[in-house]
Amino acid sequence: MKTDVLLGLQWGDEGKGKIVDVLTNKYDIIARFQGGPNAGHTLEFNGIKHVLHTIPSGIFHKDSINIIGNGVVIDPVIFEKEILDIDNLDIEMSELLISKKAHLILPTHKLLDAASEKAKGKNKIGSTLKGIGPTYMDKTGRNGIRVGDISSNNFEEKYNKLKKKHIQILDFYDFEYELEELETSWFNSLSTLKRFSHIESEHYIHKSIKNGKKILAEGAQGTLLDIDFGSYPFVTSSNTITAGACTGLGVAPNKIGEVIGIFKAYCTRVGSGPFPTELFDDVGKRLGKIGNEFGATTGRPRRCGWIDLPALKYAININGVTQLNMMKADVLSGLDVIKVCTHYLHQGKKIDYLPFEDNEDLTPIYTELNGWEKDLMNLSSLDEAPHELHDYINFLEKNLETPITIVSVGPDRKQTFFRQP
């Protein structure tokens, strides 16, 4: 049995959590493979709106098994709050397993994140300040502390050694901080982390594949934030692409099946970095307002713009996407004209790919399509949608050379339509 992968194709916030929630009943296991509490996967069902940061989006389906993989970094304090929030919903939570190899975010990681971002001044990256970057730095620097270390006899020794290193670095910054209260909360929250089974996740997944279990690997952030292939340095600190599912779960490349790419019907971005199709006019403001474009994790307003096909093609190719899911088509309702970026003007030449110098000198070249007036949020099927929406979908599908199999017209599970290309 192959492992399917679901991931974002833009700069994050595409709606991955919703689609994982919709698709979970087709899978036995949902597994997060990278990122940490910088993710904000919003689920809406039965009149409930809930945001997940670390926990896989299949958690509200009683028959699913959810795994936090080795590629994820975990903040025990935020994890504890997530669990308490779910408990308060009075909904039965499905089984949750945590990889022993997943790294822990320490209080000093978050302090280092904040100190580093402050020191950058006007050149700051736009970090979520969750300690993600410093934690991955310690992982690759072979200094990190992992979930499996919690039960070791020398856990506090490991913790104090890494804390001492962090404090020495913080001393170089002009940055005031209080650590004692953060540490108390952190150590107290470990009891919640210990409530769940800590497993050798790669062995568990190998055995599940061998036994014919259906697995969906859930990505966080988006392809254009990938540490290698994103708009560097304005990126996250992990591999958000399909290859990240291999390293973040221990799934061999030949065991990857369908790759489901999620994208919005337009584009958004949080924080700094290049955004060729960004809008600074009333249309951009309108997309932000109607689309409720505020970060689920940070609350920051998202920058908005038209859809960018060269960037999408780039993401499709890097990930080996086999099917596309288009989100938030409803936000485009009421626009007379919808623009689609099909090429860039770069150094006087017309190109259809993302160049290395994507930070500057990229002018989008647009094709204009007719918009539609109809409110899509009350559709009972895609057959009721205006022909202009179908024209938009067909135009994207033809240019991206990849089938669009799901169209979403609202935040609720019920506002999700499967489509036969």
Catalytic annotation, pick one of 13, 138, 226, 330: 13
H or E stretch covering 310: helix 309-319
Q: Are 208 and 200 in contact (CB under 8 A)?
A: no
Is 41 part of the annotated catalytic residue set?
yes
Burial of 65 (C-beta count, 10 Å sphere; 0-12/13-18/19+): buried
Catalytic annotation, pick one of 41, 50, 198, 346: 41
The residues, any chain, with a CB within 8 Å of residue 316's CB and separated by 6 or more, are 9, 261, 324, 400, 402
Interatomic CA distance for residues 271 and 27, integer angstroms: 34
Q: Are 402 and 261 in contact (CB under 8 A)?
A: yes
Is 336 part of the annotated catalytic residue set?
no
DSSP output for 248-308 = HHT--GGGEEEEEEEEESSEEE-SSS--TTB--SHHHHHHHHHTT-B-TTT-PBPEEE-EE
| Calculated CA dihedral for residues 79, 108, 159, 221, nearest 10 degrees | 40
Angle at the Cα of 308 from the Cα atoms of 347 and 56, rounded to 5 degrees: 135
CA end-to-end distance (rounded Å), the chain: 25
What the block records as the tokens of 198 is: 């800590």
Catalytic residue numbers, as ranges: 13, 41
